[in-house]
Amino acid sequence: MQTRKLYYSDPYAHTFTAKVVALKPGWLALDQTAFYPEGGGQPADHGWLQDQAVTDTQIDEHGVVWHQVALPAAIGDTVAGRLDWLRRFDHMQQHTAQHVLSQAFWQLFKAATVGFHLGEQVVTIDLAGGNLAAEQVQQAEDLTNAVLRSKLPVRCQEVAPDAVPAAQLRKLPQVDKDIRLIEIAGFDLCPCGGTHVRDLGEIGLLKVVGSENKRGNLRIAFLAGQRAYRDYGIKHNQLASLSALLSEPLENAVPAVERVLAKVNELERECSHLRERVLTLEADDFRAAAEALGNVACIVRELPEHSLAEAKFLAGYLAEQGATIVIFGLPDEPYRLVATASANVGIAIGGLLKATVAQYGGKGGGSSTSAQGAVPCSSGQITLKELAQACAKALND
């Protein structure tokens, strides 16, 4: 026996009583329900049966609506149901607004809606073709909001297949019985199995918040009703805070941020130049204190205050100053090693580093002149020492 669907006869009914008619683990079915099951791009209703949360609602191929709920019940029991009404009404606002937006795109540009998804954060429609400009998307949004302000009534009717006014429909029905038509008076007529508001005044506002090409179609993301008003409030508050921080009026916030970012970029370039200068002076000090292995300067140091990028800069710079071997250790987890050897030194620093770190469960490698690797921090200092010894031995061989 099919479930009697109260969400069709009265989508505003959010409390009801019903009898349990079927059970399966974690789910139960009722003789009637106000819970809308997931389908047609609209999510399932949530709410409560007795005091137990209903976390999902699905309909099977026999028209039976199943409620996911941890409720001890027996067939024949009478239960009280209550929807999460704010969630349901949000879905009604979004779904009805989608009808208006889809019709706006069709009227203006003959762009047909071929996909619809009502998400927790945003709603999306997919338009066939995907070749609309930003100005055209704005035109469709403007028309949608003009229609929403008109507060047109929204009506639902069920018709037999042979009574469907196909020529007037924005899209043809995908079922061959129990066809429900949603009419926005004088504007849109479309087959749909979802729940909708009574009139467009209950929505009030729609805002497109993004668009992207998706598999040859144009995906439009939007917010409607309370979602759009909430989004406006959040963004207004953020912009007002930014305006106050910049000591600029709201309308000047963007150019003010652009000026700040330009100054930050300028300062970052200056800071980078100065940091390289400091590193160069530091490298000169390292070279002055280097150990001499014949005619090769050997520099082995831990750099606890330096980043990996700084260690690589220092090692590269020193290797360019003459016959030099450089081995740096960066104490961290993992312990990182950076090593370079001037081309005229004649050792394969990459192979030496790879072999040394492997003894301590590390990984690494590189070319004959540049290498890096890592070992557990507990083995860092001994690895640094042994790599230096391996380089000295390679020089003498």
- For helices 134-149 and 85-109, what crossing angle results, to 10°? 120
Handedness of CA 245, 250, 255, 258 (dihedral sign): positive
Can you give the C-alpha Rg of the chain in angstroms? 34
Task: Give every strand in the sheet of 179-184, ordered side by side.
Answer: 154-159, 179-184, 188-191
Domains of the chain plus CATH, in order, are 4-83 (2.40.30.130), 89-232 (3.30.980.10), 280-396 (3.10.310.40)
Q: For 102, phi and psi rounded to 5 degrees?
A: -65, -40
Please count the other Cβ atoms lying within 10 Å of the Cβ belonging to residue 317.
20
Distance separating alpha carbons of residues 338 and 37, to the nearest angstrom: 60
Distance separating alpha carbons of residues 250 and 135, to the nearest angstrom: 24
User: How does DSSP assign 74-111, residue by residue?
Assistant: -TT-EEEEEE-HHHHHHHHHHHHHHHHHHHHHHHHH--
Please give the single-letter amino acid code of residue 396: N
User: How does DSSP assign 117-173, residue by residue?
Assistant: EE-SS-EEEEETT----HHHHHHHHHHHHHHHHTT-BEEEEEE-GGG--GGG-SS--
User: How does DSSP assign 315-373, residue by residue?
Assistant: HHHHHTTSSEEEEEEE-SSSEEEEEEE-TTT---HHHHHHHHHHTTT-EEEE-SSEEEE
Please count the other Cβ atoms lying within 10 Å of the Cβ belonging to residue 13.
13
**DSSP 8-state secondary structure symbol assigned to residue 290:** P
* 290-294 contact pairs (CB < 8 A, 24+): 290/324, 293/325, 293/392, 293/395, 294/395
Q: Give residue 176's pLDDT band: very low, low, confident or very high (50, 70, 90).
A: low
Q: Say yes or no to pLDDT of 79 above 90.
A: yes
Digit-coded pLDDT (tens) for 120-132: 999 999 999 878 9
Q: Exposure string (b/e) for 246-267, b if CB count within 10 Å is 16 or more? A: eebeeeebeebeeeeeeeeeee
Lowest mean pLDDT among 287-296, 297-306, 310-319, 375-384: 287-296
**DSSP 8-state secondary structure symbol assigned to residue 34:** -
Q: Say yes or no to pLDDT of 341 above 80.
A: yes
Give SS3 for 180. strand
The predicted pLDDT at position 242 comes to 92
Residues in the chain, total: 397
Q: How many C-alpha atoms does 242 have within 13 Å on its Cβ side?
A: 16
User: How does DSSP assign 243-287, residue by residue?
Assistant: HHHHT--GGGHHHHHHHHHHHHHHHHHHHHHHHHHHHHHHHHHHH
**Residue 372 Rama label (left phi>0; alpha psi -120 to 50; beta):** beta
Distance separating alpha carbons of residues 363 and 76, to the nearest angstrom: 67
Average pLDDT, the chain: 93
Distance separating alpha carbons of residues 152 and 99, to the nearest angstrom: 13
Digit-coded pLDDT (tens) for 83-131: 999 999 999 999 999 999 999 999 999 999 999 999 999 999 999 987 8
Mean pLDDT, residues 280-300: 90
Q: Give residue 215's pLDDT band: very low, low, confident or very high (50, 70, 90).
A: confident
Name the strand (E) or helix (H) holding 52: strand 52-59
Q: Are 241 and 143 in contact (CB under 8 A)?
A: no
Mean pLDDT, residues 172-197: 88
Q: Say yes or no to pLDDT of 166 above 80.
A: no
The predicted pLDDT at position 161 comes to 78
Mean pLDDT, residues 238-254: 92
Q: Say yes or no to pLDDT of 40 above 80.
A: yes
